[in-house]
Structure 1
Amino acid sequence: MTMFGPVLDVRPLFGQERRELLALLRSLSAEDWSRETVCPGWDVHDVVGHVLNDYVRRISGSRDGFGGAVFANDETLPRYLARVNDEFVRAARQFSPELMIELLAHLGPELDRLWEGFDLTGPAALDVSWAGPGPSPAWLDIAREYTEFWVHQQQIRDAVGRPGADGPELVRPVLDTFLRGLPHALGEVVRPHGTEVRVVVTGPPGGTWCAVSDAGRWRMAEPGGELAATVTVRPDDLWRLATRGITVTEARRRADAQGDPALIHAVTSLLAVVA
């Protein structure tokens, strides 16, 4: 087991999440497709275009070994990603909603087959930067993609006022994935061996996640150490904080935090860097 905790296999969920998305998109009016979302400058059509870009990018890169767009001179990774995502979304404004739905329905099963071919404990095709520097396991990379698709679906649902795809079986893996970033969140806070931090998520999709200090670093663990801090949050607040849907200040106001202030600050700060 690595610092990220036990393997989380979300592959069986992609088809269900996509069925919910496609049913939603097929029900939207022309007006709905033009509604603004929480993503700055993007309406519903743009967010769907971004999801389509994710499908195309992962199939092209992981299945076909195609490198795609190259970095510009002195371009950082965040700026590169922002640029190429924006370029695709702008181009996709030429696509009809019907065509994008057809493409998602066609490419989705191909992406599912791609995930099935991965060794979950092998190296990731794309490392998960918010979970820490260095190599990530494949299962975390795949889980990160699941959170990406699910969160964008929720952003569309928020924009058009259609809640859904929010059962515990779909939501809990999202929360679980984001919380695998706890060790990295706590990395700058040095505490004695065995010091434990817990995040408790309320409601049906919730549970308790724990990180423990071990030989100068933090790792995911089962509860049972010397508890130093506990942060209790609602599921909706957690995923919105993790994707910048609410501010750190607002998340801290809504949370119930007890214990070591430095540990609490670290936990509630890092969750907001997930893109």
Structure 2
Amino acid sequence: MMIFGPVIDVRPLFPCERQALLDLLGDLSPAEWAAPTVCPGWDVHDVVGHVLNDYMRRLSGARDGYGGAIFADDETLPAYLARTNDEFVRASRQLSPQLMIELLDHLGPRLDAMWAARDLHTAADLNVSWAATDVDSPAWLDIGREYTEFWVHQQQVRDAVSRPGAVEPDLMAPVLDVFARGLPHALRMHDRPEGSTAHLEVLGPAGGRWGVARQDRRWRMADPEGEPAARVSMDQDTFWRLATRGITVEEARRRSKASGDEELTAAITALLAVIA
């Protein structure tokens, strides 16, 4: 769907991102494994347990076709994910750091093989709700969303233990690119004349420029050309933290420069690229 812009193929990056994580985890002290993270109530051990849960859930569902999800009465998807994520994290507290490292190392290549076998242009296993709720997501966007999930959790661990890294452009730029595909959804409530455009510029070695245009009564990804009705500029650290609510919308706006249509710039600076 051209709504989402050109295809991003992140599949070759999973082993690189995972190796950076494994190298990091193998170097942590017991005190660092217990360090609190930005995730409420979760320490580093818990975040790693959550990543392990992500690995196993995707292999079980997408590779093995195992439909083990059981929703409580009237439970929404965000509520289901919050509950089951917390349940797994609590259970994983009995696992040693070494065992979790070994499991990630063992399961990771199986995930890689699963992604490699996918046709990027088919329908996603799981729709990316923060990019659109009224059309099916393509497989490449679902896989890209998974890459951003792993990368962001690695950054949360790095923040918790004050270890910089994994922000090289080849690893970070695709994260920002995938997050930017949430722009049409972020602007969905704002009707504008046909052909209206808005631009987002993310500054830094991994940054870039993205545009959206009003076409056929909806916003779609478009080349950032010409003079837009709204323009927002922010640095790469601000953008990924905004998109994952590592910082508040208000903080992101303080760190950004905006011009033009104020409703559109407000919507861009409220972009969300996680399920909430």
Alignment of 1:45-56 (within 5 A): 45-56=45-56
Q: Which residue of 1 aligns with 2:230?
A: 229
Q: Read off the aligned partner of 2:44 and give its amino acid letter.
A: V
Deviations 1:142-200 (A, max 9, x none): 00000000000000000001100110111110000011010111111111111110000
Q: Which residue of 2 aligns with 1:21?
A: 21
Q: State the Cα distance separating 1:135 from its structure 2 match.
A: 1.1
Q: Which residue of 2 aligns with 1:96?
A: 96
Which is worse superposed, 67-76 or 249-258? 67-76
Please identify runs of 4+ aligned residues in structure 1 that moved more than 2 A: 223-226, 270-275
Q: Read off the aligned partner of 1:107 and give its amino acid letter.
A: L
Distance 1:211 1:274 in 2: 22
- The answer to whether structure 1 residue 71 and structure 2 residue 82 are counterparts is no
Distance 1:38 1:224 in 2: 37
Identity %: 65
Which is worse superposed, 224-233 or 236-245? 224-233
TM-score by length of 2: 0.97
Contact 1:211 1:221 in 2 (8 A): yes
Q: Which residue of 2 aligns with 1:37?
A: 37
Q: In structure 2, the residue corresponding to 1:104 is in which secondary structure?
A: helix
Q: State the Cα distance separating 1:274 from its structure 2 match.
A: 5.2
Which is worse superposed, 14-23 or 203-212? 203-212
Please list every run of 5 or more consecutive structure 2 residues that lacks an aligned counterpart in the other structure. Answer: none
Distance 2:126 2:273 in 1: 20
Q: Which residue of 2 aligns with 1:267?
A: 268
Contact 2:179 2:273 in 1 (8 A): no
Contact 2:182 2:273 in 1 (8 A): no
Please list every run of 5 or more consecutive structure 1 residues that lacks an aligned counterpart in the other structure. Answer: none
- The answer to whether structure 1 residue 167 and structure 2 residue 168 are counterparts is yes
Q: Which residue of 2 aligns with 1:121?
A: 121
Contact 1:242 1:274 in 2 (8 A): no
Q: Which residue of 1 aligns with 2:83?
A: 83
Contact 1:257 1:264 in 2 (8 A): yes
Q: Read off the aligned partner of 1:11 and give its amino acid letter.
A: R
TM-score by length of 1: 0.98
